[in-house]
Chain A
Amino acid sequence: MFDYNFHWRPVMKNLPDLLEAGLLTLQVAVLSMVIGIGIGLCLALIRMNRNGVLYWLATAWVELARNTPALFQLFFFGFGIGAFGVHLTPFAIVLAALSFNCAGYLAENFRGGFQAVPETQMRAARSLGMTQWQTYTRIIIPQVFRIVYHPITNQMVWAVLMSSLGMLVGFRELSGETQFFASRTFRIFEYFAVTAVIYYVIVKCILAASRLLAMRLFRY
């Protein structure tokens, strides 16, 4: 019944290629997080202000990002906008979709973070003559980042794992590369097992790095 013979050699031969693809995965995930944090912060601030067209745009963004499958979001950037003659490279498609998704989720995290900073902090800063901008950049946002630090770490992990969808739009990141080799050698189990281990190690490294960074950043 169980007459499958494992052949690990081809996987091992391609290990450097897989690790390189893992680096690409990490790269697209980190980039999308940087973009997602920037946009997510803006979305949260816009939504707290509650005025006009911008509010509705930001709300639509957050709603779509959080309540539609990530795969659809990817296909939208991959094939959807192709209908309007916009063609992105696979890297750009995945980066755009991940950034879109992360920004939406992070916006809600940030919103909660802003609500958790006592309003009196704002008053104290303003009473010292700080402008609204100075108050946000020096007093409020640094505290928000501490509150949302672990949710951001989670989102980072999620971005790494979600980037695997990239193989469906022809992106040769870790999963795409694995799929490519697996289908050439038919050693499907072996390739995906090794890749799973690589994902696991990447995520563990991110969590460890995050913990170290937190110790440096948050001494209070």
Chain B
Amino acid sequence: MIEIRGLEKYFGALQVLKGIDLDVRKGEVLSVIGASGSGKSTLLYCINGLEPIQKGSVFVDGTDVHAKGTDINKLRQKLGMVFQQWNSFPHMTALENVALAPRIVRGKSSGEAREIAVRQLKHVGLEDKLNVYPSALSGGQQQRLAIARALAMEPAYMLFDEATSALDPELVGEVLDTMRLLADEGMTMICVTHEMGFARDVSDRVAYFHRGVMEEIGPPSQIFCDPQSEHTRKFLANVR
């Protein structure tokens, strides 16, 4: 379970998160929607400790992410992350991209790591690209590679930071399908997304962020059909 309490985050003098309280249960799929600059992506970075926070706390399975004594590298193994700019490692083949972290972070033998990598690449439909370098992959394929790389750590949670925003429109589908597959398998997911269709169909709950505040959270039926907040209503009217 991920528990966020009174989370405040500043970039210099600019406050980007203004006291967020949020629980994400095991097995839940939460979509986070909102305009650019509303703090959605920053929220993800605060959950896995890539950004320090100024106030409040984030607990992952009872461990305080931002506490001094926390082994953050160990904790991050529970939190797979997929980025907007897929960030595949360009100097490694698809297989090496996926096998590296299991080997050097989880201490698997190269044989085991290879097995894990092959399994995860198959999982995302890249079994025929094992020895291909990322430069020879399409954006959609690179994003699926990034998903496989995160899954290879066997995380308990997956954080998606606008995983489809940088993709050509015709490549969005294959990545969303992969994310749907994970949701069906019961993965706990927080998806920052601009894909309203995905948010509506796949999520258990949808949260709407507005200028660093979580304006509204609820089941997709409520957010999309009966939004309680004026801001949510305006936002959804504009994206449709």
Contact = CB atoms under 8 A, between A and B. Distances in A.
Interface string A84-121: 00000000000000000000000000000000001011
A129 B133 contact: no
Nearest to B136: A220
A10 interface: no
B76 A128 contact: yes
Contacts of A124: 81, 83, 87, 89, 146
A129 B89 contact: no
A129 B87 contact: no
Range class of the A interface residue count: 20 to 34
A6 to B, nearest CB: 53
A127 B79 contact: yes
A129 B60 CA distance: 15
Nearest to A220: B133
B101 A130 contact: yes
A150 interface: no
B85 A129 contact: no
B97 to A, nearest CB: 10
B234 to A, nearest CB: 32
B50 A120 contact: no
Given A138-B100, A220-B134, A129 B76 contact: yes
Contacts, number: 65
Interface in A131-188: 131, 134, 138-139, 142-143, 146
Contacts of A131: 73
B181 interface: no
Nearest to B104: A134
B153 A128 contact: yes
A219 interface: yes
Contacts of B74: 129
B90 interface: yes
A126 interface: yes
B9 interface: no
A131 B73 CA distance: 7
A126 B48 CA distance: 10
Contacts of A50: none
Interface in B66-107: 73-74, 76-77, 79-81, 83, 85, 87, 89-92, 100-101, 104-106
Given A120-B83, A124-B81, A127-B81, 19 more contacts: A118-B85, A120-B85, A123-B50, A124-B83, A126-B76, A127-B76, A127-B80, A127-B83, A128-B101, A128-B153, A129-B77, A129-B153, A134-B104, A134-B105, A138-B104, A218-B91, A219-B133, A220-B90, A220-B91
